[in-house]
Amino acid sequence: MLPDKASAFLLASVPLLANANLLQPIGYIPSDAQIRLSPPKSLFSWQDTPANESLVYHECFGAFHCAKLQVPLDWNAEEGTDNRTVEIALIKVPATVPVTDSRYGGAVVLNPGGPGGSGVNLVLKEGKHTQTIVSAGPDADNDTARYFDIISFDPRGVNNTRPNLQCFPDFIERLAFEKEMLAYGAPGSSNTAFTNLWTLVRTLADSCSKKAIESGIGEHMSTTTVARDIVEIFERHGQWREQEAKRLTNSKSVKDLPNHVKYRPGEEMIQYWGFSYGTVLGATLADMYPDLVKRVILDGVVDSFDYYEGGWTTNLQDTDMEIAKFAEYCWMGGPDNCALYDKDGPAFIAQRFSEITQKLMHSPIGVPGTDEYGADLATYTDLKMQFWSTAYRPLRKFHALAETMAQLEKGNGTALVQARRGMSSQLKLGLPEQCAKDGPYSDACNPLYDGESSSLISAAVLCSDAKSQIDMTKEEFWDYVQDLMKQSKMMGDVWTTIRMHCTQWHARPKWPYTGHLNATTHHPILFIGNTVDNVTPIRNAHKMSEGFHGSVVLHQDTEGHCSSSGVSFCTARAIRTYFQTGELPKKGTVCSPERLPLDGYSEEDEPALPEGETDKALWEAMVGVNK
């Protein structure tokens, strides 16, 4: 698990990712431990793997299969006018049964959100757990059990997919930019901060979007294009499945193969689970190709109408409710589990939370230097950032937030600064030798710098998805900052930096989305929302569900972003049932979690299987994706 992000400021610009832990925002520095412990270089390298129009798999990263799929840069280019291509990095957890087994259920494609999140990274971290959740459990009937491949990919511009987007000459320059940005403070903190950020972010967006256009990728990163890429992945998967069956059975002819493995050109059905921004992608996909929808789960649901307007106004309505929830769980958890515990009850805890915040706003706390670190300053912006990263994963992270708050109350900013810069010892290590030798874009510098895997990829997608370039004066934008701060005192102003990019993002998509986000899909969609979600309030799930015939909203009674922020057998079983049989939960289903924040569930220990439950593998998978 990655430590909290040092650079969380720009996290806000990669807003809609399933788990804030998964992303590397600008200036992300891996901990020295990660560098030292990184496994010996495997034989697989994306760079040395040729792209192919078919799925040609190579063993990679241990038990995974990787392929580089070649697709047209421009799906709508007329024959012979534009032969440029995109090489999509794709990764698979192979199903536990061969394709010829009648229990083989096909592929489920995941998208982690972002936009700009790396699907390769998601599968490396969670793919096996996800496979356990969707595949048949121990009690499954042999006739109906289904076992799935799990596939994801780095979308256009992202991480291992080529071409990617690069807006800084190297890692150090990117880091310097990040530091500068952080130093100004959140845009709502002062007029000076706002003015500096407004100018800096727009200058970056201006030059970066021009680079994106020059390199050709800028106009071909829209969500419609990625939706079409997913259809292609299923088509090529069908072709691969047939080849694989021929290989396994030594068949000379396709005629000899069982029907369920035969490739059906143009009719390969989609199975998809999208998180956060991945719900925009999924809703778009379902609207564009409704007849191909076999299973689609949209989890942590974005208001795609607002998204395509470029509004960014329907994300933060419930964010600050997490403070009240924190106080409640802190009180229930008791002094052993919550450092900010107060015997007088949750109202007092919330009051202290507010006082600590207020005080820090006006008086930052100096943190003396140590043998390891230089002198530093714990600021209100730092606290917002820790809250921000915590809000995605309360079950895991309220504990550390309580510690930070209790220390701040005593005038000690050490924990807060540590949360920001826990990884900065890496700087002392310097760059790995090979990285310095091969240059900043080489594999050796991975994971130091792998293209703009963060906020600018995000901007490239979401700004070009907005129906037009956002045209706002500085004064109008300041009003927008004030409006969002009314929605969320904690996150409102930081959130506005997303849209700020779009006021100077010049790349426009060749293939814009023109649909209505509604469809009668071949099979109904399952939406999932949490009671309190910091970036995708559950009302969005209900709103989006209205457009998709027969769809159902599953309500998970937890806090945080996407269902994986909680651990609930009820939710996991509903998801499994949906993938196994297609059956949707009853309308109005509310799933309770097994564990609550600050009940002693910790980041370190493996939480025990709840009493009365027997499916240990499923529990471990739920805990695994919650990390």
Which of 40, 50, 62, 612 is close enough to bind ligand NAG by CB under 6 A?
50
Say whether residue 137 binds ligand NAG (CB under 6 A): no
CA–CA distance, 583 with 575 (Å, rounded to integer): 9
In Å, how far from its chain's centre is CA 460?
A: 16
Say whether residue 514 binds ligand NAG (CB under 6 A): no
Q: Applying CB under 6 A, which part among 423-431, 455-463, 513-521, 531-539 lies near ligand NAG?
A: 513-521
Which of 33, 41, 47, 54 is close enough to bind ligand NAG by CB under 6 A?
54
CA–CA distance, 493 with 189 (Å, rounded to integer): 8
Residue type, 417: V
Q: Applying CB under 6 A, which part among 48-56, 303-311, 326-334, 376-384 lies near ligand NAG?
A: 48-56
CB proximity list for 253: less than 8 A, separation 6 or greater: none
Q: Minimum Å distance from CB 519 to ligand NAG?
A: 5
**Alpha helix ranges (H) inside 185-320:** 191-214, 223-249, 277-288, 304-309
Say whether residue 406 binds ligand NAG (CB under 6 A): no
Q: Applying CB under 6 A, which part among 46-54, 267-275, 484-492, 577-585 lies near ligand NAG?
A: 46-54
DSSP per-residue string spanning 466-514: SSS-----HHHHHHHHHHHHHH-TTTHHHHHHHHHHHTS-----SS---
If the CB atoms of residues 261 and 485 are measured against ligand NAG, the closer one turns out to be 261
CA–CA distance, 615 with 624 (Å, rounded to integer): 14
What SS3 state is found at 110? strand
Gyration radius of the chain's alpha carbons: 24
Say whether residue 38 binds ligand NAG (CB under 6 A): no
Which of 216, 447, 512, 624 is close enough to bind ligand NAG by CB under 6 A?
447
| Cis status of the peptide bond prior to 597, with omega within 30 of 0 | no
Q: Applying CB under 6 A, which part among 118-126, 346-354, 491-499, 567-575 lies near ligand NAG?
A: 118-126
> Which residues, numbered 411-440, are part of the site for ligand NAG (CB under 6 A)?
412, 414-415
CA 156 to each of CA 274, 328, 333, 505: distance values in angstroms, whole numbers, following the listed order: 16, 42, 44, 17
Which of 181, 519, 526, 618 is close enough to bind ligand NAG by CB under 6 A?
519
> Secondary structure of 463-475 in the HEC alphabet?
HHHCCCCCCCCHH
> Which residues, numbered 141-200, are part of the site for ligand NAG (CB under 6 A)?
142, 159-160
Say whether residue 83 binds ligand NAG (CB under 6 A): yes
Which of 203, 520, 581, 592 is close enough to bind ligand NAG by CB under 6 A?
520
Backbone torsions φ then ψ of 89, nearest 5 degrees = -80, 125
Say whether residue 404 binds ligand NAG (CB under 6 A): no
What six digits make up the tokens of 391?
């809000």
Say whether residue 376 binds ligand NAG (CB under 6 A): no
CA–CA distance, 316 with 294 (Å, rounded to integer): 32
- Give residue for tokens 């720009």: 10
Cβ-contact 466, 356 below 8 angstroms: no
User: Per-residue contact track with ligand NAG, 468 to 507, x per CB under 6 A?
Assistant: ----------------------------------------
If the CB atoms of residues 66 and 391 are measured against ligand NAG, the closer one turns out to be 66
Q: Minimum Å distance from CB 176 to ligand NAG?
A: 19
If the CB atoms of residues 62 and 612 are measured against ligand NAG, the closer one turns out to be 62
Q: Minimum Å distance from CB 259 to ligand NAG?
A: 17
Which of 126, 219, 450, 533 is close enough to bind ligand NAG by CB under 6 A?
450
How many C-beta atoms surround the C-beta of residue 62 within 10 A?
9
Which of 7, 24, 111, 315 is close enough to bind ligand NAG by CB under 6 A?
24
CA–CA distance, 508 with 523 (Å, rounded to integer): 33
Binding site for ligand NAG (CB under 6 A): 24, 46, 50, 52, 54, 56, 83, 118, 120-121, 142, 159-160, 407, 412, 414-415, 447, 450, 453, 516, 518-520
